[in-house]
Amino acid sequence: MRGIVSPKLTDFLAVANNNIALAKQNNVQFTPTILRENLNKLGALMSDSPSVNYIADKALTLTDRTIAVRVYSPAPDKPLPVLLHFHGGGHMCGSVALYDPICRHLANIAQCVVISVEYRLAPEYPYPAGLNDCEYSLIHYTQLLDDVNHQDSVTIIGDSAGGAICSSLSMKSLTDKRLHIDQQILIYPSVDYTLTSPSLDSNGSGFLLETSRIKWYFEQYFQSTDSDIIKQASPLYGTINANLPKTLIFTAGCDPLRYEGIAYANALSTAGVEVEHHSFDGMIHAYMLLHDLVKQECMTTYQRIAEFMAKS
């Protein structure tokens, strides 16, 4: 069933849909540069960027690359839980800089140490390069906290493609004991790369993120048409059992990814995983990047994350 969008987003979507229509009319093709620039423009709608007591840019150095990160702590002398953050953007857009306001809110409201990871992006670095960066960050994150007090627990969090990364790492943690995850938080996650979710049809146009763009993202990410590889990479079709971490999931009623998020929550619950699911029925995909337009929904999301973290 097609979602009914909040009036708060009507004017924004009217402009966005007009721009999408003009691009199609002029046969403007998707390119990484265009889509990255378009996503970065949403940064103008996150003017609420609170100060945080401690912010530092650091890096994990490997023999063949460096993984940049940004560390946040509202109280660096206090032992706080760790939240490892993987941004969204279809595996080919987004950055630590774009998500800086979100990480500031997370650190302050949830009272935690946030580590935001600058993982490699497709198409320059296709699957599984970015996932490997996030895995390495999860295994070695304590190296980044030499001057920040913290607890031993670690929660991973991601929106959209970042949610795919989180759920993929959680799935791998079932067999790879180097990966220790206490909890995962998924915000309108992408957990099914097969493009068979019903909401891709019902919500796949008119709500900013369109099914045609999702398909293009995945083509750049996998650079493969092998359906077996794509399905095996989808957490929704992977191993789901009671040993997966406690999970908090947010879905949006007008999101083409809505159904797969709900399906993943249901699958976890059926398997015996402790799951908390919240739906924002009038919201669209990427609503957390639209803070100035939907501040109440964003702040409620942060508060529920804080409550979830406090229960651990």
- Cα dihedral value 117, 120, 126, 127, nearest 10: -30
256 burial type by CB count under 10 A (0-12 exposed, 13-18 middle, 19+ buried): buried
Q: How far apart are the first and last CA of the chain?
A: 35
Per-residue pLDDT of the chain (312 residues; tens, 9 = 90+): 899 999 999 999 999 999 999 999 999 999 999 999 999 999 999 999 999 999 999 999 999 999 999 999 999 999 999 999 999 999 999 999 999 999 999 999 999 999 999 999 999 999 999 999 999 999 999 999 999 999 999 999 999 999 999 999 999 999 999 999 999 999 999 999 999 999 999 999 999 999 999 999 999 999 988 999 999 999 999 999 999 999 999 999 999 999 999 999 999 999 999 999 999 999 999 999 999 999 999 999 999 999 999 987
- Residue 248 phi, psi dihedral angles, 5° rounding: -115, 125
Distance CA 204, CA 198 (A): 9
